Structure 1
Amino acid sequence: MNNSSLLHVNGTSPCPAEPQSIIIPVFLVLVFLGGFILNSASLWIFWFRIPHWNSGMILQFHLVLSDAMVIPAAPFMAIYYSLGSHWPFGQFLCQLKAFFLSTHLYSSIYFLMLISVHRYVAVVHYTRVSRMKSKDFVHKLCLGVWFFLSIKGMALFFILETSEVGNRIKCLSIHQDQLTGVYFVMNFVLLVPGFLLPFAISVTCYSLLVSSVSKMKTNTLKGKVIKSKSLKMIAVCMSIFVACFTPLHVARTLGVVVKKFFPSACALLTQVESAYYISWTLAGANCCLDPMIYCFGSEKFNKTFRGSLNRIGFRFHRPAAARGMDSTSQSMTSRAGTVAL
């Protein structure tokens, strides 16, 4: 038996944990600041500046809440990486971090999926009665999502723990050998219902939506504006899925597979671990991109946001097409008006 195998049998990882690049905590601090500012502003606009919500705005508000959940965890993660992947805050805060990160990540994915379903129903089936257009149903649906994700987050809270590896305390680390099997099973339990299924539903809804929007008549001013905003919203949503959520799930899946089946492949494990941590920072960046969805998805939010910026000295000159759309938005009864909801 070689030294690496002996170390693994004795419970000590054959691959030493390498400190991560300083770029990771720096980026996390930027995500924290950007997310705090943008989501605080979004929460303020939704809660205090828009008194009446439709079903689409209810989904967007819950997406803001999901983004806000990553803000408390970001400073702890930045400190963890800046200390060379050492967790000095104790097991309870490690478990709490796992709860917040899991709930934030998958609530963001689920609410983005529900927004895609809602937009598809509102545009493609605008003349049909649908429960997705009912505020009461959407309220209950959102509460159901939070309940399901909270149960899942609590399961992670009680399963995961800190470990001493070398002279460092690890939290949610691939070098916690006693959790190798747990991480492997947990990854695939989360991967399919938490990412692959919502992603497939979102791609399907937005593909059908693009097909429908591309057939809209754009010989009117408001039709051109609404078509442009709808396509931009679709682009933002799919970019968030591809750039923020896909790398994380790919890196995590590779990491648990390498750790379980190739535990002595230290160079490969180090590369996958670095990719995983970087992908977590990209996943956190979705809280800075989601406000673009609110601007494209809700004319009320867009107008209130611009009005608030104007009051503090930031001036925006809106295109003539957008101003023309505002002047007629109250009388829209056509299909194009439904798209702007």
Structure 2
Amino acid sequence: METTTCPAEGQHISLSVLLCLIHLVGLFLNGFSLWVFTCRMAKWRTGTILQFNLAMSDAVAPLATPLLAAYLARGSQWEFGQVACQLMIILLSAHFSGSIIFLTLISVHRYVAVVQFNRPSPMKRKDFVKKLCCGAWVFLLFTFSFGFLLPSTSDDRNMLCLSIHQKNNTEAYFTINFLIFLLGFIVPLTVSLFCYSRLVTSVSCINVSSLHGQLIKMKSLRMIGICLLIFVLCFLPLNVVRTVMVVVKKFYPNHCSLLLRLETAHYASYILGGINCCLDPFIYFFGSNNFRKIFRKSPITVQQERDKRSESL
């Protein structure tokens, strides 16, 4: 039984500033990517569908950023009510879970396209990939429950939201974290590592004497590098720090100075996690010849191509 309640303390203003800056850049890059997908890309392939859904999941994060940044800037004092707290948790959970899911599906798709290029696979059919993405979004509805399981609470001084110092939410934090850590990070990471290891083995055997072979090898290596960077830089610190934090809170609740440092590290890991919004557009640009070609075309040329397709129909 806890004998001491560790009080929540305000975080440095730099956390709020960096959080807003990174998500502002991510909002611009993903907004631009969505514009290219929807307004300038007439023909979508299976990989395009997955990339579009990844961009959609990244576009969710900036919606929650102002609330979290204001919360930190106000000294960990939540002043926006219960519903806003639940909404912020839902948006953050949907963003991080959605990004990991679609990054994993992209790795599987790339594995199928390169390693099993001469074998039939449902991942090569647009109708199947569309259903798969719809299923992923339905699964993400599960994250809505996090907002109701982790409500805002008050301590002696502050109203708290998404804070390790919420004594009544300790058990819920602990359970939800390990569900996210095991099913939402370890499993996708294992699948991605398997796909990337097979991809590296496969592309190392590609004949680079031909231009087609060079393009496939270059695109695959870029995809592997960017996706692994996102997992290691953005998602690994967030999941590891959060796991350590909930374990310390559950079993060593009186170590207040340690909990405060872990909470600061946890919020800092949100900043690292937000960098994935800035890195994901590089997957579209470097990993998709179609996206790169469309990006380099003028709007007039794209519109002319659309008109020609309409006339042919």
Pick the aligned partner of 1:110 from 101, 108, 120: 101
> TM-score normalized by structure 2?
0.92
Paired residue secondary structure (2:159): strand
How far did 1:174 drift? 0.3
Q: Which SS does the other structure have where 1:288 is aligned?
A: helix
| 8 A Cα contact 2:150 2:173, kept in partner | no
Q: Which runs of 5+ in 1 are unaligned?
A: 312-341
Counterpart in 2 of 1:241? 231
Partner of 1:127: 118
Please give the per-residue CA displacement for 1:47-100, whole angstroms capped at 9, x wherever unaligned: 011111111110000000000010110111111111111111111010001111
TM-score (normalised: structure 1): 0.85
How far apart, in 2, do the equivalents of 1:308 and 1:164 lie?
Answer: 55
Deviation track 1:208-267 (CA, whole Å, cap 9, x = no partner) reads: 001101111112344334322321111000000010001011001000000010011112
Q: What amino acid is aligned across from residue 244 of structure 2 in structure 1?
A: L
What is the SS of the residue equivalent to 2:62? coil
Q: Does 1:38 align with 2:26?
A: no
Number of the residue aligned with 1:337:
none
Partner of 2:129: 138
The Cα offsets for residues 255-307 of structure 1, whole Å up to 9 and x where unpaired, read as: 00000100111121112111111111111111111000001221111122234
Amino acid at match of 2:248: V
1:166 to 144, 148, 156: 156
Structure 1 residues 121 and 243, CA gap change in structure 2 (3 angstroms): same
Cα deviation for residue 165 of structure 1 reads 2.1
The reply on whether 1:63 has 2:49 as its aligned counterpart is no
The alignment-based identity, stated in percent, is: 50
The alignment status of 1:188 with 2:161, answered yes or no, reads no
Q: Is residue 192 of structure 2 the alignment partner of residue 202 of structure 1?
A: yes
Aligned residue in 2 for 1:268: 258
8 Å contact from structure 2 (residues 110, 220) kept in 1: no
Aligned residues: 300
Q: What is residue 333 of structure 1 aligned with on the other side?
A: none
Tell me, in whole angstroms, the C-alpha distance in 2 between the residues paired with 1:49 and 1:125: 30
User: Structure 1 residues 111-120 or 25-34, which shifts more?
Assistant: 25-34
* C-alpha RMSD of matched pairs (Å): 1.6
> Aligned-pair distance for 1:5?
5.0
State the alpha-carbon separation in 2 of the partners of residues 308 and 180 from structure 1: 54
Q: Structure 1 residue aligned with 2:77, among 75, 80, 86? A: 86
Residue in 1 aligned with 2:310? none
SS of residue matched to 1:85: coil
Q: CA deviation at 1:16?
A: 2.1
Kept in 1: contact 2:50–2:106 (CA 8 A)? yes
Q: Secondary structure at the match of 1:70?
A: helix
State yes or no: 1:300 paired with 2:290.
yes
Of 177, 180, 185, which aligns to 2:167? 177
